[in-house]
Amino acid sequence: MATEKQLTDVLEKISQDASGFIAASLVDLESGMTLAVKSSRTDFDLTAASAYNSELVKQKLKIARTLGLSGTVEDMLISLTDQIHLVKLVGTTMFLYLAVDRRQSNLAIVRNAVNKHINALS
């Protein structure tokens, strides 16, 4: 596993490249515990968001298994009226959670910022 410093470095780079960056975390899928966090807003409860998103990912993986889908889940996108949330699986045990301001960004920017740096953890 990468160290917390390595994980934080990746989040730092993503925050610089993703315009409208609100918050991001790298999360242990099994427990929902954060392994590294980065936030630009104090009112954004990243701990809770990370934990509940771990349930979301687990449910999605369960759905994929139930449907017998042969492909693997790469990422999940949730569009809010004012935010974009991206959940990107990193290996089989960790995921990245990223929230950005939708007025200052778009999906292409978000994906590009994530994909550019996330390979450092593979």
Partner 1 sequence: MPTIDDSRGVLVVRIVYDGPAMSGKTTSLRALASRLGTVVESPEERDGRTLFFDWMDYVGGLFEGRPIRCQIVTVPGQTQLADRRQHLIETADAVVVVLDSRRPEFDFGMRWLREAAQLVSTFQPPVGLVLQANKRDAEDAVDRDEIRQELKRIAPIALVESIATNADGTREAFVLAVRLALDRVRALSAAGKLLTGPPDEAAARDLLERMRSREQQSENRPARVEPRPAHDVDGPNSELAHLKRRQSEPRLQAVSDEELTFEPDPMMPGGMIWPPVEGRTLLYELCSLGIRPSRTRRGDWWGSGSGWRFHSEREAIYADPDHARQELIEWARLHTAVTEQVSAGRAVILAEAGDGRLRLWQLVRVEPTLRERLAAALAQLEAEAVATGLTEVASRLLAARRRFSAGNASLPCTLWTVGDQTGYRPVYVGLMPRPRLPSTFEPHEGELLERELAPHLRELRRVRVDFPEIQARITQISTDAPAETGLRWLLKLTASL
Q: CB-wise, 19 or 59, nearer to partner 1? A: 59
Query: What is the footprint of partner 1 within residues 14-33 (CB under 8 A)?
Result: 28-33
Query: What is the footprint of partner 1 within residues 54-113 (CB under 8 A)?
Result: 54-55, 65, 68-70, 90-94
- DSSP calls for 16-77: HHSTTEEEEEEEETTT--EEEEEES-TT--HHHHHHHHHHHHHHHHHHHHHTT--S---EEE
3-state secondary structure of 102: coil
Give the residue, chosen from 9, 13, 44, 51, that forms a contact with partner 1 under the rule CB under 8 A: 51
Quote the tokens at residue 16: 């610089």
Quote the tokens at residue 119: 């390979």
Instruction: Tell me how far, at minimum, the Cβ of 51 lies from partner 1, in Å.
Output: 4
Which residue do the tokens 């918050």 mark? 23
Q: CB-wise, 81 or 92, nearer to partner 1? A: 92
Q: CB-wise, 81 or 122, nearer to partner 1? A: 122
Instruction: Tell me how far, at minimum, the Cβ of 65 lies from partner 1, in Å.
Output: 6
Q: How many residues does the chain have?
A: 122
Instruction: Tell me how far, at minimum, the Cβ of 28 lies from partner 1, in Å.
Output: 5
Q: CB-wise, 58 or 79, nearer to partner 1? A: 58
User: Are the C-beta atoms of 50 and 80 separated by less than 8 Å?
Assistant: no
